[in-house]
Amino acid sequence: MTIRLFNSLTRSKEEFVPREPGKASIYACGPTTYNYFHLGNARMLVVFDMVRRYLISKGYDVTYVQNFTDVDDKIIKRAAEEGCDPFVLARKYIDEYFKDASALQILPADVHPKATEHITEMIDIVAKLEEKGLAYNIDGDVYFAVEKFPGYGKLSGRSLEDMQAGARVEVDEKKRNPMDFALWKKAKKGEPFWESPWGQGRPGWHIECSAMALKYLGPGFDIHGGGGDLIFPHHENEIAQSEGCLDGEPFARYWMHNAFITINQEKMSKSLGNFFLVRDVLKKFSGNVIRFYLLGTHYRSPLDFDDEKLVMASKGLDRLKNSVRLAQEALAKVLPDEEPFFEDDLIAAARLARKSFEEAMDDDFNSAQAYSALFDLAREINTYLTKEIKQPFALTEACNTLQELGQILGFDLQAEDEISGEEEGKLSQVMDLVLDIRKNARKNKDWATADLIRDRMKEIGIVIEDTPDGVRWYLK
RNA sequence: GGCGGCAUAGCCAAGUGGUAAGGCAGAGGUCUGCAAAACCUUUAUCCCCCAGUUCGAAUCUGGGUGCCGCCUCCA
């Protein structure tokens, strides 16, 4: 089965044919590190992490590159406000990035290049563009001449005339064309700078991605991803710069852009100030839940945010996890059968789930639709568990399939198990005691005590459930 | 002004020509001391409105209405 994905460049779904068979190269525009990342950033990160995981699950040898913009106006400004060194500030938020990313089950990229570590490569590109007449230096500022690049506007679907007609930008008198953009910025007083052929300065924003993508993935790499607001000007400019110095080769083959998260139907953004930091949302909901919420909508559809949506996501995820837990509980009670297994409905259901899941994901990474395969399988497992005859083999197969498919989307469906080792042993002993006391209470029909124990334990995060076969407990 | 997107049940959300996935919530039932979990049944004669194309449209075309995004830093 081949993957079809929506290419922003052609505005249509295309079959994914990688540059090299069996391999996939992805470059994702990561965050500018001047703060903890917010839910909007999280959506982009989770979406491309999901794309990466799915490609890996399909057998591709994936190289995933995600940059950190660690020098730019906002970082400098923020550092000045806090009275610290911009590099120290950027470094701090890069470290913090990995904490939140890990909570959201976002795997580290194969390469996490930083802009400040690729100044030489950027200077090389700017120099080459200048040499080719696509860039010009004015008093230490180097601009890209958009008129000299015929394909300018092909990604965002607009012509230079359109853009100038609607330009709200304050025209920089130095530019030859108002749409020309900075490749290299002359250093201002107190700002960090590097030596260059044009004097002391720092790179423009767009050039870093060109330099790093070309360095680690080379021309014509497979997928370039990012948030939809990067289409213009950032990605448009990346294409211009990169292809401007590439002699006819394409920069990236497929462009993928995720839609935004909105708050009350309005875009969540740093400039509007209506953003939620992942760090804060994690205080109320687990990373797994946030991720489940984020992937519950197709990546190209807008996604509105409020706590209620996370509560819904949390309950849905619980359903999946309950199913895995119940299956494992049942498996623990029966001995593995030594009889040869036979085809039964559950085995068929597991196969069907895998197939439906793959069909959904092959179609432009439709994770929302893939969810239904997960839920369908969970129901099949649960129903199977109510039956008299249970094949351990079938149950194992179905449970493994459910967990495996969940894992492809980055969900850990294994029950929470934060306590380990020695402490777990102690907890078990305490629980044995507590449940023993409760059992006695129930025996004496002392429902008040029995219910009090159950309620209080639930508040602590330990769920107690009575079943016909006895009591069960688990951490939540 | 230019370019683009979206509108599906109480809520969330798939589906892009063949007669409405899935989740949450709700209702009834089974189980239970009660609960929880789970299971079974049930919940959109209809997909913003109006025309049109078609044997057939939520899905295509045209026209409305509403909402949103990009065109400036933003995932």
Query: What CATH number has the domain bearing residue A256?
Result: 3.40.50.620
- Report how far residue A286's alpha carbon sits from residue A292's, in angstroms, rounded to the nearest whole number: 10
- In this complex, the nucleotide whose C1' atom is nearest to the CA atom of residue A299 is B75
Q: Is the dihedral of CA A168, A170, A173, A174 positive or negative?
A: negative
pLDDT at residue A420 in the model? 63
For residue A304, the cross-strand partners are A262
- In this complex, the nucleotide whose C1' atom is nearest to the CA atom of residue A376 is B22
pLDDT at residue A468 in the model? 87
For residue A277, the cross-strand partners are A38
Question: Is any atom of nucleic acid chain B found less than 7 Å from the CB of residue A335?
Answer: no
Question: Is any atom of nucleic acid chain B found less than 7 Å from the CB of residue A369?
Answer: yes
Tell me the HSE value of A283 on the side-chain side, using a 13 A CA sphere: 4
The answer to whether position A256 is within a domain reads yes
Question: Is any atom of nucleic acid chain B found less than 7 Å from the CB of residue A163?
Answer: yes
pLDDT at residue A417 in the model? 57
pLDDT at residue A340 in the model? 65
For residue A83 the two structure tokens come to 């009275």
- Report how far residue A469's alpha carbon sits from residue A162's, in angstroms, rounded to the nearest whole number: 72
Q: Which CATH number do you get for residue A329?
A: 1.20.120.640
pLDDT at residue A166 in the model? 53
- Report how far residue A188's alpha carbon sits from residue A172's, in angstroms, rounded to the nearest whole number: 16
Question: Is any atom of nucleic acid chain B found less than 7 Å from the CB of residue A158?
Answer: yes
Question: Is any atom of nucleic acid chain B found less than 7 Å from the CB of residue A469?
Answer: no
Question: Is any atom of nucleic acid chain B found less than 7 Å from the CB of residue A317?
Answer: no
For the beta carbon of residue A117, count every other beta carbon within 10 angstroms: 12
Question: Is any atom of nucleic acid chain B found less than 7 Å from the CB of residue A413?
Answer: no
Q: How far is the CA of A161 from the C1' of B1 (A)?
A: 12
Question: Is any atom of nucleic acid chain B found less than 7 Å from the CB of residue A264?
Answer: no
pLDDT at residue A122 in the model? 97
The answer to whether position A312 is within a domain reads no
The answer to whether position A10 is within a domain reads no
Question: Is any atom of nucleic acid chain B found less than 7 Å from the CB of residue A270?
Answer: yes
Q: How far is the CA of A71 from the C1' of B60 (A)?
A: 49
Backbone angles phi, psi at A232, to 5 degrees: -130, 130
Q: Are residues A115 and A244 in the same domain?
A: yes
Q: Are residues A87 and A155 in the same domain?
A: yes
Among all protein residues, pick the one whose CA is nearest to the C1' atom of B14: A369
- Report how far residue A359's alpha carbon sits from residue A466's, in angstroms, rounded to the nearest whole number: 39
Question: Is any atom of nucleic acid chain B found less than 7 Å from the CB of residue A310?
Answer: no
For residue A170 the two structure tokens come to 């304050």
Q: Are residues A269 and A126 in the same domain?
A: yes
Backbone angles phi, psi at A472, to 5 degrees: -130, 150
Cβ neighbours of residue A366 under 8 Å, at least 6 residues apart? A298, A360
Question: Is any atom of nucleic acid chain B found less than 7 Å from the CB of residue A391?
Answer: no
Q: How far is the CA of A232 from the C1' of B45 (A)?
A: 45
- In this complex, the nucleotide whose C1' atom is nearest to the CA atom of residue A323 is B38
This prediction's pTM: 0.95
Domain extent for A454: 421-475
Q: Are residues A79 and A102 in the same domain?
A: yes
Specify the number of domains making up chain A.
Answer: 3
ipTM: 0.95
Q: Are residues A255 and A284 in the same domain?
A: yes
Question: Is any atom of nucleic acid chain B found less than 7 Å from the CB of residue A376?
Answer: yes
Q: Are residues A43 and A105 in the same domain?
A: yes
Question: Is any atom of nucleic acid chain B found less than 7 Å from the CB of residue A466?
Answer: yes
The answer to whether position A310 is within a domain reads no
The answer to whether position A328 is within a domain reads yes
Tell which of A252, A279, A304 closes a domain: A304
Q: Are residues A372 and A286 in the same domain?
A: no
pLDDT at residue A167 in the model? 53
Backbone dihedral region for residue A50 (phi beyond 0: left; psi -120 to 50: alpha; all else: beta): alpha
For residue A305 the two structure tokens come to 């945010």
Question: Is any atom of nucleic acid chain B found less than 7 Å from the CB of residue A33?
Answer: no
Q: Which residues of chain A fall below pLDDT 70?
A: 1, 164-173, 335-340, 416-421
Q: Are residues A362 and A434 in the same domain?
A: no
Among all protein residues, pick the one whose CA is nearest to the C1' atom of B1: A166
| CA–centroid distance for A344 within its chain | 37
The answer to whether position A362 is within a domain reads yes
CB A44 within 8 A of CB A402: no
Question: Is any atom of nucleic acid chain B found less than 7 Å from the CB of residue A329?
Answer: no
Q: Are residues A259 and A385 in the same domain?
A: no
Q: How far is the CA of A300 from the C1' of B69 (A)?
A: 12
Q: Which nucleotides of B are covered by protein (CB under 7 A)?
A: 1-6, 11-16, 21-25, 31-40, 67-75
For residue A359 the two structure tokens come to 């069909």
The answer to whether position A50 is within a domain reads yes
The answer to whether position A105 is within a domain reads yes
Q: Are residues A222 and A257 in the same domain?
A: yes
Nucleic strand B contact set for A 91-150 (CB, < 7 Å): none
Q: Are residues A113 and A251 in the same domain?
A: yes
Q: How far is the CA of A199 from the C1' of B38 (A)?
A: 71
Q: Are residues A378 and A445 in the same domain?
A: no
